[in-house]
Amino acid sequence: MSKWLSLSVLAVALTASALAADRASGASGMPVGDGPEVCQAAVLRNGFSLLFVRREVAGPVTRLWLCADVGAGYVEIPSEQIVGVEPRESAVPRTAAVPASAPATTASGALPAAVPIANLIAGAASRNRIDPDFLASVVKAESGFNPGAVSPKGAQGLMQLMPRTAATLGVENAFDPAANVEAGTKYLSQLLDQYNGDVAKALAAYNAGPRRVEQYGGVPPYPETRDYVIRIIEDYNRKKLRQQADSTTAPADK
């Protein structure tokens, strides 16, 4: 059975109950200039940081314009999630504004079809025989669809590639959304093959590394990794269950 087929029935074949038992409790244009832009890092409450050159506060939401070497456009996040700002220099000249590429999700948690990142996900998923809904759930868990996301451990971009992993996969700029998604999807596909389609093991290996999965014979007992696997499986299952419900309520063609 191909990865595509095995993942397409994940909603009825997988549950997260065993892992859950162990879960730990507890648009305006960018200014154009001749000089180098000064990037800063917005430190988020969840430990991630986003590189930005300008910010605008609108009530409870803050819009962060991304640095030119991270990605074009802006992202919007709740202001309360920003706990600090740190300096970070960038020698990349400012460029004229282009449409934002970091999307907001719909009420159902899915990416709008017209968003470029959604197109990148669909293309990479097709080339690697992975359900695009599943891949979107992974990207959502990894970076929240923010191409400039940087984790406390140094993972970068949409699929949070570590620099060494990115180099192994031939990625020169992990903040390039297309290169990041293509490489991350290729790596995820390799893990699915390695674990014979065992999605939980593949996700755990993507998060904690294959050595840890081998060490523990499955999903490692790390709260972060177990929560990560659960969130992706549950998010994917919700999308598939909604699709099934929509298909049964849709009027039949005459």
Pairing relation of β-strands 149-150 and 61-66?
unpaired
Longest dimension (CA), the chain: 63
* Adjacent-strand bridge partners of 40: 52, 87
The one catalytic residue among 37, 56, 142, 182: 142
Q: Is 142 a catalytic residue?
A: yes
CA dist 150 and 157 (Å) reads 7
Q: For residue 139, what are its two tokens?
A: 């990207």
DSSP characters over 169-200: TT-S-TT-HHHHHHHHHHHHHHHHHHTTT-HH
Q: For residue 239, what are its two tokens?
A: 């999308």
CA dist 120 and 89 (Å) reads 29
What positions carry a catalytic annotation? 142
